[in-house]
Amino acid sequence: MKTVKYGLSALGLAIGMAATGVSMSVSAAEPTLAEADYEKAKLQYFQRCAGCHGTLRKGATGKNLEPKSTMKKGQKRLEKIIALGTEGGMNNFDDLFTKKEIANMATFIQMEPPVPPEMSLEQMRSHTKEYVAPKDYPTKPMHGLNWKNFFVVIERDAGTAAIIDGDTKKIITHIDTGYAVHVIKGTEHHKIDHAKDVGRFWYTIGRDGKVNKIDLWQTPDKMLVAETKMAYDARDIAVSGDGKYVIAGGYWPAHFVIMDAVTLNPLKVVSTRGYNTKGEFINEARVAAIYTSPLTSSFIVAVKETGQMLQVDYTDLDNLTITSIASAEFLHDGFFDPSGRYFQIAANASNKMVVIDTIERKLEAMIEVDALPHPGPGANWIDKECGPVGGTTHLGVGLVSVWGNDPMGHPDKAWKLCYEVETDGAGAFIRTHETSQYVWADQLKHPEPEVQQSVQVFDKDTHEIVKTIRVTTEPGKAALHMEFNNDGSEVWVSVWNRKDAKNPTGEIVVYDAKTLKELYRIKGLTTPTGKFNVHNRMNHKT
Amino acid sequence: MKTVKYGLSALGLAIGMAATGVSMSVSAAEPTLAEADYEKAKLQYFQRCAGCHGTLRKGATGKNLEPKSTMKKGQKRLEKIIALGTEGGMNNFDDLFTKKEIANMATFIQMEPPVPPEMSLEQMRSHTKEYVAPKDYPTKPMHGLNWKNFFVVIERDAGTAAIIDGDTKKIITHIDTGYAVHVIKGTEHHKIDHAKDVGRFWYTIGRDGKVNKIDLWQTPDKMLVAETKMAYDARDIAVSGDGKYVIAGGYWPAHFVIMDAVTLNPLKVVSTRGYNTKGEFINEARVAAIYTSPLTSSFIVAVKETGQMLQVDYTDLDNLTITSIASAEFLHDGFFDPSGRYFQIAANASNKMVVIDTIERKLEAMIEVDALPHPGPGANWIDKECGPVGGTTHLGVGLVSVWGNDPMGHPDKAWKLCYEVETDGAGAFIRTHETSQYVWADQLKHPEPEVQQSVQVFDKDTHEIVKTIRVTTEPGKAALHMEFNNDGSEVWVSVWNRKDAKNPTGEIVVYDAKTLKELYRIKGLTTPTGKFNVHNRMNHKT
Ligand code: DHE
Ligand code: DHE
Ligand code: HEC
Ligand code: HEC
């Protein structure tokens, strides 16, 4: 096997050459890997680590992992961190990687990060495929089912999306979406724009930047109707209020792409590379949350590393108007308040919730919260004292933070912490429903199985945890992500088979939203993570 | 002397590594230069070539000069092109460089281009200097002169700006501005915003990104009141209608910076890197023309390589709204129509004049013209047949192109070529005045001295050239850039001592605007290029 060295990074070199004018050289002391090991570590890094630490390893949710940081720690210490994780939010990987893979990863992150290539609009277009011609789309649902209570479910490691009938709990089909879909969004009701057949079309975004279009009116075997690719690495997607455009954001290249929602043909690409709020240039300025503003004809695009919230007007793509709202680094996941005017988003490594006013197109507030807020789909409800509130879980601490979000009705409470609820472990997703007395929080980030496999439920009035539900006890499995059904009578929780990720040994456990008792186990799912109820999502029930 | 090799470029390497995963190596066949020669060629390239070919040598006004292009031509052919220039717009450098410098330059451009470093807001701020405290600014002019007929004159290679009294033709002072100022702009009258003391403060932008503030009310020795630096390489600048902000654009880094017009402190930096109109990512997306829209509270920023015209709202820098108007590559220099609504700009290598509607914030038209349009300050006048028209010289051909620019009054003529006037040689600057019967065009780009040293004047009614004026006959000197005085009775033309650039052997020749006869020679100027009459510029007399 050939042993190769990867010496100087492109960017390090660029600066180095410009500043010193000295010729490059490959130092003999640098760590090396055999080519096959290097390629494997590169792929694993990209799939498992880049999301938090960045493709260029500049750090974001996780810390900087450039050689200047990692060389100081050394091989042994790095192996230990990767294997066991840390209290501060770093995952353990001893359940996913072999000893050798961990050792190679520790070496890999002491080498200069390779810089991935660009992607042009033409390259994206070469991936656009039509599976069903728009002229052959049905004019009414072909299956006679109550599609507005369907759940669209990510089967992460199977590369599929399952469509589950919420009425019967039957898995209707597994749609081939490709590698690790991260988010799926459908058309939604909008205040001023009107999409045809709201809730019918759903769009997936994969970690590999692949976009798929799903038609819920089709017969199950034909639900996948189109496909394209808009980046090498991506996380979020949204559909315009008029249903004409789909927008998706790239982690790499750092850009967002607006596509024709009928054909998925990429129409416009806009770079997000730029300056952070301190005025430092960021090459890897990744797009995290993307939403459609329910009250205005615009998209909301969160640029993680620059702390810029972009409000992108979609009425004229050739003369594209964007308001860049400076907030705080590192923007990640967000959700609208019940009025649809305010977007509430975690600037996670700044320990802040950022609030944007989409009517005035400006920063409304920044709320100081505990370590690494992460609301996932988020939750809004009414508090007896504070009035309308929003809440978030935290990646860094077992806590739910709750703040007032009604500046009109409750100006004294607005954008201030109302109360906090301690949970057993750090989590990623919070959820409730207007019909429910309870708020649900998962504990996905906790290293111990008992906690990671349990979700906690607290009462909206007493602020007390009323129940800790152990969703599974099987080793290698984690409980995460709650979604209510259409009328709010059930709560669905995913059991993610992280360890046995190639087999359909994951499940969704359905609970009675009132009694908190288990009702069903939907089996035969491979690594289910996020799930999206058509009725709730199309009607902004957050 | 140490011999060093500069092997692979940072960007080439980046792509290479990502695509092939192969280790870098420095090929033995590559051209090399001794370190001192390399550094000198690098500096000369940056000062003399990068403007047209790009710092990264990707090509713009000039062709691509990366090794993949230049290696094919070879040393001898490259030397010849650099020494003698070409018919297609490439300058001759045999008058500026020695034989050895030309040979080294030919070698240098066969080597990979070094990538220059970034610049943060903090770095910019470290260059901000106050020479006169704002509290010490005078409350009325301190010199009793008719400052509204002052000319602010660039003395390119002296690193100064001369202030010349238009009434007396006396040089009042030479202000130390640093290396190669490119453009100087002052506060202007605005339709909705109101600056204090319009026309009083002037701002220079150097090729090195340095910005200076000049106070024309000061005693001559104190006119330089503040300074900063916003890039390593820059070309244009503008002042907001309310006089509060100064904006300047970087060639490298590719960004624009908004500064406090009082202190010059940099407040906001926005990257212009992004996608061109074909959807290809451009790292070196340079800012060319920058103007203030006279009717709206916004700046106009032309991004050369991406073909994007940015209309930047300056009313809220923290929530910055920008409309990105896709037009054509490579945007360069422009001017407003007489109504102030339409901005007319050359997309030079696309052979187009692009027209932006600043009220609707959208593309109004694109006019096909001959090779490499370059209007410089531009010219608007009334044509008997076409009504209001605009005109441009061309870098690539001896021609003035004239188009209708009154879509309200003359819709059938608007944004169409009205007529063309052939001149003896390609030029860079056109100028007229509302009181004048004539339009003036220089022939700066023509290789032969007789032509390069002459400007041509044509009649607005007959469209015929009425006079060819040989401005100078001295070897190594060129005639360029015309500016009228305040009442339009005189035309000032620069004689640029390109060869003897270190000495004050340049001059400005003043002509009677009616008789076209020479009136004065203002001597003692070092390499005068652009000059700006206070009255005309503050009142949009273009
Ligand atoms: C930007 C982003 C969003 C959109 C937020 C919004 O719409 O407000 C999002 C949403 C999500 C959503 C949608 C939540 C919703 O209900 O709307 C889910 C289910 C989800 C499951 C996961 N995410 Fe996610 N996720 C990232 C990014 C994002 N995730 C990461 O960068 C991170 C931290 C690391 C990585 O390498 O990707 C990451 C890890 C995960 C997981 O490990 C999860 C649990 C499983 C998986 O798919 O890998 N993320
Ligand atoms: C972007 C830009 C502007 C602003 C246009 C506007 O406001 O509409 C401008 C304006 C100008 C103006 C302002 C014209 C005016 O009256 O408004 C002048 C005098 C000027 C003298 C020159 N320019 Fe200029 N100039 C460049 C860029 C620009 N020049 C280049 O990139 C280029 C082609 C090559 C380079 O290496 O810089 C270039 C070469 C020159 C010259 O060689 C000139 C003649 C002398 C010099 O300074 O080097 N440019
Ligand atoms: C879900 C987010 C997340 C993922 C995925 C993740 N990390 Fe981390 N990582 C973190 C956080 C947060 C920290 C800081 C932990 C702390 O301070 O205790 C961290 C810390 C580290 C550190 C210690 C750095 C230091 O300077 O202290 C190393 C090494 C590391 N991660 C490597 C990896 C590798 C390798 C992977 C993939 C195999 C990975 N991480 C995946 C979030 C993540
Ligand atoms: C004012 C603009 C301008 C400047 C300044 C300029 N060039 Fe050029 N250059 C051009 C143009 C335009 C062309 C294309 C000419 C043609 O096609 O005939 C060109 C062509 C060339 C070519 C031939 C490329 C080919 O593939 O045919 C070389 C080599 C070159 N330039 C080198 C340089 C060097 C070195 C400098 C500085 C010392 C420089 N240029 C400065 C505009 C410029």
Residues B345-364 have pLDDT tens digits of 999 999 999 999 999 999 99
Across residues A487-504, what is the average pLDDT? 95
For chain A, what is the total number of helices (H) and then of strands (E)? 9, 37
Nearest-angstrom CA–CA distance, B155 and B525: 7
pLDDT tier for residue A87 given thresholds of 50, 70 and 90: confident
Nearest-angstrom CA–CA distance, B484 and B493: 9
A349 lines ligand 3 (CB under 6 A): no
**pLDDT: is A259 or A48 the higher one?**
A259
pLDDT at B29: 56
**pLDDT: is A56 or B237 the higher one?**
B237
Q: Is residue A211 part of a domain?
A: no
Residues A108-128 have pLDDT tens digits of 999 988 878 899 999 999 999
DSSP per residue, A377-440: EEEEEEETTTEEEEEEEESSSSEEEEEE--TTT-TTTBTSEEEEEE-SS--S-EE--TT-SEEE
pLDDT tier for residue B58 given thresholds of 50, 70 and 90: confident
pLDDT at A124: 97
| Best CA proximity match to B21, nearest among A42, A483, A363, A438 | A42
Residues A404 and A446: beta-carbon distance below 8 Å: no
With CA atoms as reference, the chain B residue closest to A121 would be: B279
Q: Which of B90, B124, B230, B353 is catalytic?
A: B90
pLDDT tier for residue B173 given thresholds of 50, 70 and 90: very high
pLDDT at B302: 98
Residue A43's CATH number: 1.10.760.10
Q: Which of A33, A46, A52, A95 to mutate to test the pocket of ligand 3 (most atoms within 8 A of CB)?
A: A52
Residues B425-465 have pLDDT tens digits of 999 999 999 999 999 999 999 999 999 999 999 999 999 99
Is B120 close to A324, i.e. CB distance below 8 A?
no
B34 touches chain A (CB under 8 A): no
**How many Å lie between the alpha carbon of B346 and the closest alpha carbon of chain A?**
18
**pLDDT: is B513 or B499 the higher one?**
B513
Is the C-alpha dihedral spanning B345, B346, B347, B351 positive or negative? Answer: positive
Q: Is residue B287 part of a domain?
A: no
Q: Is residue A76 part of a domain?
A: yes
Residue A15 has pLDDT above 80, yes or no: no
| Best CA proximity match to A242, nearest among A214, A261, A217, A218 | A261
- Chain A residues with CB under 8 Å of B280 CB are 118, 120-122
A540 touches chain B (CB under 8 A): no
pLDDT at A29: 55
List Cα–Cα distances, B484 to A27, B150, B481, in angstroms. 62, 11, 10
Q: Is residue A395 part of a domain?
A: no
Across residues B211-231, what is the average pLDDT? 98
A86 lines ligand 3 (CB under 6 A): yes
Across residues A335-341, what is the average pLDDT? 98
Task: Report the run of H or E that residue A493 belongs to, with start and end.
Answer: strand A490-497
Facing residue for A362 by CB, picked from B116, B124, B319? B319
Q: What is the mean pLDDT of chain B?
A: 92
Residues B187-211 have pLDDT tens digits of 999 999 999 999 999 999 998 899 9
Residue B409 has pLDDT above 80, yes or no: yes
Query: Which of 118-147 (A) contact B at CB < 8 A?
Result: 118-122, 124
B174 annotated active-site: no
pLDDT at B459: 98
ipTM for this prediction: 0.85
Q: Give me B37's structure tokens.
A: 């020669």
Query: Which of 299-358 (B) contact A at CB < 8 A?
Result: 316, 318-326
Residue B277 has pLDDT above 80, yes or no: yes
Assign A21 to helix, strand or coil. coil
Q: Is the omega angle on the peptide bond into residue B46 within 30 degrees of 0, that is, cis?
A: no
Residue nearest to atom 4 of ligand 2 (CA): B289
Residues A72-83 have pLDDT tens digits of 999 999 999 999
Across residues B26-53, what is the average pLDDT? 82
Residues A315 and A273: beta-carbon distance below 8 Å: no
Nearest-angstrom CA–CA distance, B407 and B297: 23
| Secondary structure in 3-state letters for A154-207 | EEHHHCEEEEEECCCCCEEEEEECCCCEEEEEECCCCCCCCCCCCCCEEEEEEC
Q: Is residue B42 part of a domain?
A: yes
Nearest-angstrom CA–CA distance, B313 and B321: 5
With CA atoms as reference, the chain B residue closest to A362 would be: B319
- Other beta carbons within 10 angstroms of residue A459's beta carbon come to 14
Across residues A144-148, what is the average pLDDT? 97
Residues A109 and A48: beta-carbon distance below 8 Å: no
pLDDT at B25: 30
A280 touches chain B (CB under 8 A): yes
pLDDT at B45: 93
pLDDT at A10: 30
Residue nearest to atom 15 of ligand 1 (CA): A377
Q: Is residue B52 part of a domain?
A: yes
Residue B17 has pLDDT above 60, yes or no: no
pLDDT at A60: 73
Residue A53, domain extent: 3-108
**pLDDT: is A2 or B298 the higher one?**
B298
pLDDT at B94: 93
Residue A19 has pLDDT above 50, yes or no: no
| Best CA proximity match to B149, nearest among B405, B531, B428 | B531
Catalytic residue ranges of A: 49, 52-53, 90, 332, 374
Q: Is residue A72 part of a domain?
A: yes
pLDDT tier for residue B114 given thresholds of 50, 70 and 90: confident
List Cα–Cα distances, A110 to A201, B130, B450, in angstroms. 45, 45, 64
- Chain A residues with CB under 8 Å of B258 CB are none
Q: Which of A333, A395, A446 to mutate to test the pocket of ligand 1 (most atoms within 8 A of CB)?
A: A333
Residue nearest to atom 5 of ligand 4 (CA): B49
Is A7 close to B23, i.e. CB distance below 8 A?
yes
B86 lines ligand 4 (CB under 6 A): yes
Q: What is the mean pLDDT of chain A?
A: 92
Across residues B20-31, what is the average pLDDT? 40
Q: What is the count of structural domains for chain B?
A: 1
B386 annotated active-site: no
Residues A159-203 have pLDDT tens digits of 999 999 999 999 999 999 987 899 999 999 999 999 999 999 999
Across residues B403-407, what is the average pLDDT? 98
CA B521 to ligand 1 centroid distance, Å: 72
With CA atoms as reference, the chain B residue closest to A356 would be: B319
Is B10 close to A14, i.e. CB distance below 8 A?
yes
- Chain B residues with CB under 8 Å of A316 CB are 362
Is B24 close to A23, i.e. CB distance below 8 A?
no
**pLDDT: is B202 or B46 the higher one?**
B202
B433 annotated active-site: no
Query: Which of 148-167 (B) contact A at CB < 8 A?
Result: none
Q: Label residue A306 left, alpha or beta by phi (over 0 means left) and psi (-120 to 50 means alpha).
A: alpha
B428 lines ligand 2 (CB under 6 A): yes
Q: Is residue B32 part of a domain?
A: yes
Q: Which of B174, B332, B394, B433 is catalytic?
A: B332
**How many Å lie between the alpha carbon of B325 and the closest alpha carbon of chain A?**
4
